[in-house]
């Protein structure tokens, strides 16, 4: 594709679960994701949304086809190499935040940095605090997840996804457990990540109003991409 620098390139990607009756999760997917794009994936239950996201996130490997991430082909990479690539290049946000309950918000955010091992402990703490501060969560840094609201926990989960400064964030129904105000706040964070920080954000959502806030929408059905195009966004020129 021409234009912005390409981050993800998927060609002919198919994922089949083997068994007595094989199940095709996604089939013949061609997809490009550029740096700085905010993309929503929508479609009915069972349409392949999450399966596609997990393939893009290297959590699953395609049965056939090829996915390249930041110019690197991923077919044939071993478990360790894939895990390292995920740590460096991808941040994940899920509907259920999966924060470790025995750790504080700050400690949860440092976990990916500890696993990657590039920064000293003091630098990890400083970076985690900077990210939490940018998300309005610095004052809650030393609280455990059970001391935070749902919206606050999800912001900590986003901070954790940003810990290693990955170029791409993948989010699977990140607002599914949030009220409308907190859901809008999460999408505002995603918009800032793309517009200000140049991250690529791909988010699965069932909320059409929130999907309309993204720049590009992909619709899946029966494991295929049936529509992929720019979203007609409302004019925000007069927004206060």
CB 168 within 8 A of CB 7: yes
Instruction: Note the pTM of the prediction, 2 decimals.
Output: 0.89
Angstrom distance (rounded) from CA 181 to CA 236: 19
Domain boundaries, the chain: 37-48+79-230
The CATH number of domain 37-48+79-230 is 3.40.50.300: yes
97 phi and psi, to 5 degrees? -60, -25
Q: Mind listing the pLDDT tens digit for each residue in 222-234?
A: 999 999 888 775 5
Angle between helices 79-89 and 105-116 (to 10 degrees): 130
Q: Mind listing the pLDDT tens digit for each residue in 1-24?
A: 445 699 999 999 999 998 899 999
Q: Please, which residues have CB within 8 angstroms of residue 50's CB and are 6 or more apart in sequence?
A: 172, 204
Positions of the chain with pLDDT under 70: 1-4, 233-240
């Amino acid at each position: 594709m021409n234009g912005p620098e390409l981050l993800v390139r998927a060609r002919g990607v198919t994922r089949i679960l083997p068994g007595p009756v094989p199940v095709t999760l996604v089939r013949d997917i061609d997809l490009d994701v550029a740096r700085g794009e905010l993309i929503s994936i929508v479609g009915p239950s069972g349409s392949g949304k999450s399966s596609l996201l997990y393939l893009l996130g290297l959590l699953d490997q395609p049965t056939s086809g090829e996915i390249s991430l930041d110019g690197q082909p991923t077919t044939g990479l071993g478990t360790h190499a894939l895990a390292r690539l995920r740590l460096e290049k991808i941040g994940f946000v899920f509907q259920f935040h999966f924060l470790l309950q025995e750790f504080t918000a700050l400690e949860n955010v440092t976990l990916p940095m500890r696993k990657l091992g590039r920064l000293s402990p003091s630098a990890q703490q400083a970076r985690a605090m900077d990210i939490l501060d940018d998300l309005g969560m610095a004052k809650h840094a030393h609280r455990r997840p059970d001391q935070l609201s749902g919206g606050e926990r999800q912001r900590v989960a986003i901070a954790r996804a940003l810990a290693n400064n990955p170029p791409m964030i993948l989010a699977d129904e990140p607002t599914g457990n949030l009220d409308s105000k907190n859901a809008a706040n999460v999408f505002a964070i995603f918009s800032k990540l793309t517009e200000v920080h140049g991250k690529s954000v791909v988010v699965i959502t069932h909320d059409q109003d929130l999907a309309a806030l993204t720049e590009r929408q992909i619709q899946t059905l029966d494991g295929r991409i049936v529509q992929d195009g720019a979203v007609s966004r409302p004019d925000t020129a007069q927004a206060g």
